Amino acid sequence: MNRKVVFIDVDGTLVDYENKLPDSAVTAIRQARENGHKVYICTGRSKAEVYQELWDIGLDGMIGGNGSYVEDDGEVVMHQLITPEQCRHIVDWLHGRGLEFYLESNEGLFASEHFEEAGQSTIQEYTRRKGKADADKMTVRSVFPEMIFDGDLYRDDVNKVSFILNSYQDHLDSVEEFPDLKPGTWGGAGEIALFGDLGVKDITKAHAIDVLLEHLNMPIEDTIAFGDAKVDIPMFDYCHDSCCMGSGGDEAKAAAKYVTDDVDRDGLYNAFVHYALIEK
């Protein structure tokens, strides 16, 4: 059996949009690693958002910040940061527009002054779009349990910045304002934008996978990517095999070679069986 390198998105793929981790997903990853395969999470989250519950599954490492950070077995293979000057520019621009935001660092998530109040309805809408019945009960603190609300916002350790969109024009204006960064959006089902984000230019999950494979001396032919959203498409295109969750977005499904069941219906486990990473 060929040893595979498996890359798994977190939100909507490994966990559902209430941060619930299916037992079957844990079983699948542990069995796959026992079978000699290597398993990495490949996520938009920074390391500070990868809570102990996920590490306790047993992982070989992670790609974070949508590709700005690569870690293998505790070793930092690559870490590309927003510069302190870029961070100051972002913070001042968002403050000037009255947009609430949080800075994503491996040291933590640092929220703007009014993010908790402004973000609650946005977080609830995000969860609602993912089809969750109790979305109205979600709070910023339940989604981001370790978020820091009184930290310094001028930083030198920022991977990327997410901000609440008052309108899609905020994203379009960010593209104009920050040609030296990589602007994006995210927002749940249908990929309708709720948040904008700003990250390191020319960084993708695909580029990070390339860096990790070179470090591991493993060929692209032995890779499988699992995801659920538009941001995962470069990863799908780059890896040899690709799988989208049944609960994923239409564009991601169209880009993947295989579509499994929903994240909360044993989708990851069933896909691992499909790819013969484990036996049922």
From first to last of its 280 residues, the chain has per-residue pLDDT tens of 689 999 999 989 999 877 789 999 999 999 999 999 999 999 988 898 898 999 999 999 999 988 999 999 999 999 999 999 999 999 999 999 999 999 999 999 999 999 999 999 998 888 787 666 788 888 999 888 889 999 999 999 999 999 999 999 999 999 999 999 999 888 755 457 899 999 999 888 889 999 999 999 999 999 999 999 888 999 999 999 999 999 998 999 999 999 999 999 999 999 999 999 999 8
Predicted confidence at residue 190, as pLDDT, reads: 47
Of 158, 193, 134, whose CA–CA distance to 16 is shortest? 134
SS3 14: coil
What is the reported pTM?
Answer: 0.84
- Quick count: other Cβ atoms within 10 Å of Cβ 219? 11
The pLDDT of residue 155: 97
Question: Which domains does the chain show, CATH number per domain?
Answer: 5-80+203-274 (3.40.50.1000), 84-200 (3.30.1240.10)
Q: Which residues pair with 160 in a beta bridge?
A: 104, 199
Q: Which residue has the tokens 């990070």?
A: 208
Question: What residues have CB less than 8 Å from 270, skipping those under 6 apart?
Answer: 260, 261
